[in-house]
Amino acid sequence: MILERNNRLKKRLTLLFVTWVFSTACSSSNNNPSSQADRITITPSTTTLVAGEETAQLTATLTLSTGDAAQNVLFAWQSDDPDTISVNSDGLVTAKQVGVAMITATSGGVSGSATIWAKSPNPGAASLTLSGNARYEDRLYDSNGFTGTLLEKPIRNVVVEVVAIDGLKTLGTSATDENGDYHLTVDNSGNSAGVYLKVYSKTGTAENAKIEIKDNVLNKEVLWFISSGIDDSGGDPLSITQDVTATVSSRIGGAFNILDVIMDASRVVQNVDPCPSSQYPGCVPPLITVYWEPGSTKGSFYDDSVDAISLLGDDSAGGDTDEYDDSVIVHEYGHFIVSKFLRDDSLGGDHSLTESDQDIRLSWSEGWATFFAIAVLNREDYVDTVPEGIFISVNLEDYTVPGFQTFSSFIKYTTSEIAVSGLLWDLYDPVDLVENDSVDLSFSDIFKISASFPTQKPTTMETFWTQFVQDRSTGDQTAFQTLLQERQIKLFADAAEGSEPAISSGTTYTLYRDPTVSLDPVDDVDVFTFNVVSGESYTVETLNLTNGTDTFLTIKNASGLTIATNDNANGGNFSSCSVNTCPKNNLSNLASLVTFTATGTETYKAEVRHSENAPPSAGLLGTYEITVSNSNP
């Protein structure tokens, strides 16, 4: 199921992950009108030289869309660090000092690249101690999108390696701590001097939850970046401080933001006490893999078939990229958490924030994940950006959206994901001035109520309410009822309980059994009376169904004999519907209608109950109105 972001010694940060992990070529027209430039290949694509001594000749080939190599092409050559490795106009590279550089050849808007390493001619230190700090740049945002402010944060508890440039051998492995600091001692005496630090976007052993950020489902390579080259030929033993920063401009910073945000989310779950899970002691989530790379247009979703999250990486004009959209990241991780610790009956599918007629399982699933996001981030707005501004920005405290004055009017019923997330947020947030609610639940409270759903009951806001009633005090129940009714969610007994009122047009009734009769509110039967005249025709119907109601209507005469029944007025049977065939929970899809001719002048009864053939997308409860009309002139 798929359910729908200072360096004391170093001179710069060299980003190799763009070269090695992601394709740098793009299509563009060249001067030949009959073909297009497809890609540029540099030979050799990687090579290692001795600093201060060696050069190498690189050759570039431009391949056309026809598959042929273009002739007589002029290339523009460039090094991203000419102080370390330079390149002339003919592609001749010269190693000047220990380090690494990316050499790019460009023609007609198409480019290709090669990676050149430069090692020292001298032996490395037999005892080399490296220490320093690893950080990443985060992009700050508000309800209108990114503010333009960057904030450096520590890269916490991730794997770091020291690699020898001579042979690219790993010399030692460690991890950063909570402050992003690392420290390790290695032996490089068997190699020419020159090492670099490699920082992986995956957690080390010190972090309980296992998180890894990979490029895509085909390569499945953990994303990483490296420091500048380090010349360790200056003494033995030798200690060097090397700080590194994963930047926004290099795009690798996004991978570490994803990891950092998910790390915080996993710790919120680990703080649930006592943990309701026997499978995952201490509520420590299992391994989660997130696939993300620049240019990815696959979408942002959680796929429980592979226990992986996919995040968009398309920052082109009109595209969408989610590596710094913290709300989106934690929302998708919320689906993962539900799949491991709770239950989710949703089949997924397309959904919109303004829908109030969703599959009731979908609205709970999406609403819970959105609540999880804002609870983890401790902010009341859910924001999803696009390069040009915002795609989604909704405040869950007052249900406002920038530039959308009527948004709040759409947020109603148990079949609205935003109504669900907003209600959970109101239960969780401190007592506020907007809703005037007096409920102040912890995340653990909400998590444990969600984990206590009976296996025979679907995962919906209805089920959450019935469990809440059993777990919380009367005062909390009353406060929650106020919040529910503000969202037009009516989970309480109606005027038909214990009586048989006459049918009254425009009166709303609930399929909710009196809790004094049963703690389980389902299986409520409302009975109404109406007078008929023998020989005349009548139509009785339910209408204005809300909150996922599916009615079943029975008409009985004064003797108690059944005159007629109806499930769905449209004649449909949706009991085995799928994600693409389940009806919307709108005002009429699951309404009932009976037309009959009276056999006597007497008082008839209309019984309304939940349909036994209700689609799984409908609720067990809900609200409706009932009318009777005489069709005789």
Opening angle at CA 188, ends 183 and 191, nearest 5: 150
180, 310: one domain: yes
Asked if the structure places residue 59 within a domain, the reply is yes
pLDDT tens digits for 542-562? 999 999 999 999 999 999 999
Query: pLDDT category, 411, cuts 50, 70, 90?
Result: very high
359, 426: one domain: yes
115, 127: one domain: no
- Amino acid 559 reads S
Tell me which of 65, 96, 119 is where a domain ends.
119
pLDDT tens digits for 477-490? 999 999 999 999 99
Asked if the bond preceding 237 is cis, omega within 30° of 0, the reply is: yes
* Cα distance between residue 309 and residue 301, in whole Å: 6
Cross-strand partners of 494: none
pLDDT tens digits for 350-365? 888 889 999 999 999 9
360, 407: one domain: yes
- Look up residue 364 and give its two tokens: 């709970």
* Cα distance between residue 327 and residue 382, in whole Å: 6
Helices within 380-487 (DSSP H only): 417-428, 443-451, 461-471, 474-486
Residue 8: what pLDDT? 22
Opening angle at CA 615, ends 610 and 616, nearest 5: 100
109, 252: one domain: no
282, 389: one domain: no
DSSP 210-248: -EEEES-TTT-PBPEEE---B---S-SSEEEE--EEE-S
Candidate from 56-60, 314-318, 364-368 with smallest mean pLDDT: 314-318
- Look up residue 238 and give its two tokens: 């030798």
CATH number at residue 597: 2.60.120.380
Share of the chain above pLDDT 90, in %: 78
Pairing verdict, β 128-142 and 244-246: parallel
* Cα distance between residue 288 and residue 274, in whole Å: 23
pLDDT average, residue stretch 133-155: 96
Torsion sign (Cα): 72, 74, 80, 85: positive
The count of structural domains within the chain is 4
* Cα distance between residue 58 and residue 39, in whole Å: 16
CATH number at residue 253: 2.60.40.1120
pLDDT tens digits for 19-53? 333 322 232 333 343 457 688 999 999 999 999 98
* Cα distance between residue 571 and residue 594, in whole Å: 11
Confidence (pTM): 0.89
Query: pLDDT category, 515, cuts 50, 70, 90?
Result: confident
pLDDT average, residue stretch 13-18: 34
58, 205: one domain: no
Share of the chain above pLDDT 70, in %: 93
* Cα distance between residue 323 and residue 325, in whole Å: 6
Residue 436: what pLDDT? 55
148, 200: one domain: yes
Asked if the structure places residue 100 within a domain, the reply is yes
| 252 pLDDT more than 80 | yes
- Look up residue 188 and give its two tokens: 């490089």
94, 135: one domain: no
Q: Which domain holds residue 213?
A: 123-325
Query: pLDDT category, 54, cuts 50, 70, 90?
Result: very high
pLDDT tens digits for 164-204? 999 999 999 999 999 999 999 999 998 999 999 999 999 99
Helix axis angle for 443-451 and 461-471, nearest 10°, is 110
| 9 pLDDT more than 50 | no
Query: pLDDT category, 10, cuts 50, 70, 90?
Result: very low
Average pLDDT, the chain: 90
593, 529: one domain: yes
* Cα distance between residue 623 and residue 508, in whole Å: 7
pLDDT average, residue stretch 310-314: 96
pLDDT average, residue stretch 314-323: 91
Task: For the beta carbon of residue 301, count every other beta carbon within 10 angstroms.
Answer: 18
Residue pair 170/161 in contact (Cβ under 8 Å)? The answer is yes
* Cα distance between residue 329 and residue 315, in whole Å: 16
Name the nearest CA neighbour of 545 among 506, 586, 575, 510. 586
Of residues 350 and 162, which shows the higher confidence score? 162
278, 130: one domain: yes
Cross-strand partners of 400: 395
Asked if the structure places residue 218 within a domain, the reply is yes
| 240 pLDDT more than 80 | yes
Tell me which of 119, 146, 162 is where a domain ends.
119
Of residues 25 and 133, which shows the higher confidence score? 133
Phi, then psi, of 377 in degrees rounded to 5: -80, -10
Of residues 633 and 208, which shows the higher confidence score? 208
pLDDT average, residue stretch 437-459: 91
* Cα distance between residue 461 and residue 472, in whole Å: 16
276, 192: one domain: yes
Which DSSP helix (H) or strand (E) runs through 410? none
Phi, then psi, of 348 in degrees rounded to 5: 75, -150
Residue pair 566/551 in contact (Cβ under 8 Å)? The answer is no
Tallying the residues shown for the chain, one arrives at 633
pLDDT tens digits for 71-128? 889 999 999 999 999 999 999 999 999 999 999 999 988 999 999 999 999 999 999 9
